[in-house]
Amino acid sequence: MQDSPAIVQDAVEAETHEHPPYQRHHFETIGQQDDATNFAMWLFLLTEVMFFGGLFTAYLILRNWYYPAFVAGSHQLNIGWGSANTAVLISSSFTMAMGVWCAETRRKSGLVLCLVLTFLLGLVFLGIKTIEYSEKIEKHHVPGFHYSLQSFLDPASDPVAAQYGDKPLALDMARKTELYFFLYFAMTGMHALHMIIGIAILGYMIFRARAGAYTTGHVTFVENFGLYWHFVDIVWIFLFALLYLISRHS
């Protein structure tokens, strides 16, 4: 109801001006086009929230049922790498936000620099994730593939578990750590998939930005990608708290 008069005014303006080349033919004004694509991006992020929501629900229920197994599983994660990754992602969100600012203020070299930094930080995140995953593979903590209960049945034999002073779990509960690691791999894997998609788009954007595509006043693509990148970042912050920080408060 609110925006209709604005559209009228925009339409009047549009008749007197030439269309910029990036305006699609079916929009009356460039303002309408930017509004629509921004809104579409927010809606898409909403579907992503619902998508991850299913996993978070599963986590919530199983953690309530098998809390000791989840704590013991969580102790096997490397909190140093996890914190480093959180710092890396937050920095990359900062460089991305700076990139959007550069695009808006038409600083081409600044934009390219910010995008390259974001790209690199994204790769660093995936690199650290690979190190963490390979630790899990070495200790046979990958569910479904020769999963080993050693660290949970006999924590004294496992330096990490011993360090936290874990008590041995009953066999029945120890088996549930497999569910914890299943959720760990499913959730961080789904997150990593989003990172890989984001990094691929960043690579494309760096080429386009060097050609000056985003510094002519049309910044919606950079802006919307920024939204996506921040969303992926926020998901990680939830994952970090839920997977790494169980019972670390004591």
Partner 1 sequence: MSDTIVSLPDQSTARIPKMNFLTRENGLLSWLLTGDHKRIAILYLISISFFFFIGGALAGLIRLELLTPQSDLMATDTYNKVFSMHGIIMIFFFLVPSVPATLGNFFIPMMLGAKDLALPKINLLSWYLYIAGGLLALYTMMSGGVDTGWTFTTPLSTHYVNTHVLTTGLAVFVAGFSSIFTGLNFIVTIHKMRAPGMTWFRMPLFVWAHYAASILMVLGTPVLAIAIVLIALERTVGIGVFDPAKGGDPLLFQHLFWFYSHPAVYIMILPGMGVISEVISTFSRKRVFGYTAVAFSSVAIAVFGFFVWAHHMFIMGISNYAVLVFSLLTMLVAVPSAIKIFNWAFTLYKGSITFETPMLYAFGFMGLFTIGGMTGVFLGASGTDIHLTETYFIVAHFHFVMVGGMLMAFLAGLHFWWPKMTGRMYPEKISQLAAVVTFIGFNLTFFPQFILGTLGMPRRYASYPPEFQILNVFSTAGATILGVGYLLPVLYLTWSLKYGAIAGDNPWQATGLEWQTQSPPLTENFVELPIMDHEAYDYEWLERHNRDRQKEEEVASAG
Beta carbon of residue 246, minimum distance to partner 1 (angstroms, whole number): 17
Selected binder of partner 1 within 35, 104, 132, 135 (CB under 8 A): 35
13 binds partner 1 (CB under 8 A): no
CA distance 229 to 96: 8
By beta-carbon proximity to partner 1, the closer residue of 39 and 204 is: 39
Burial level of 154, CB count in 10 A (0-12/13-18/19+)?
middle
11 binds partner 1 (CB under 8 A): yes
Q: Which string of x and - marks every residue 142-181 that binds partner 1 (by CB under 8 A)? A: -xxx-x---------------------------xx-xx--
Beta carbon of residue 142, minimum distance to partner 1 (angstroms, whole number): 9
**Among the residue ranges 18-26, 115-123, 127-135, 163-171, the one whose residues contact partner 1 (CB under 8 A):** 18-26
Q: Which string of x and - marks every residue 177-196 that binds partner 1 (by CB under 8 A)? A: -xx--xx--x---x------
> What are the Cα distances from residue 85, in Å, to 127, 170, 186, 202, 249?
10, 33, 18, 19, 20
Beta carbon of residue 9, minimum distance to partner 1 (angstroms, whole number): 9
Q: What are the structure tokens assigned to 43, written together?
A: 């809606």
1 binds partner 1 (CB under 8 A): yes
By beta-carbon proximity to partner 1, the closer residue of 32 and 118 is: 32
CB atoms near residue 126 (< 10 Å): 15
> What are the Cα distances from residue 248, in Å, to 101, 153, 167, 242?
38, 21, 15, 11
Q: What are the structure tokens assigned to 8, written together?
A: 């009228």
Q: Counting every residue, how long is the chain?
A: 250
Q: Which string of x and - marks every residue 46-65 that binds partner 1 (by CB under 8 A)? A: xxx-xxxxxx-xx--xx--x
**DSSP structure class, residue 169:** P
Q: Is the dihedral of CA 23, 26, 31, 32 positive or negative?
A: negative
* Nearest CA-CA partner of 232 in 35, 100, 51, 59: 51
Beta carbon of residue 93, minimum distance to partner 1 (angstroms, whole number): 23
Residues 6+ apart with CB under 8 A from 206: 112, 115, 116, 119
Which residues within the stretch 82-141 sit at the binding site for partner 1 (CB under 8 A)? none
Q: Write out the residues near partner 1 by the rule CB under 8 A.
A: 1, 3-5, 7-8, 11, 24-26, 28, 32, 35-37, 39-40, 43-44, 46-48, 50-55, 57-58, 61-62, 65-66, 143-145, 147, 175-176, 178-179, 182-183, 186, 190
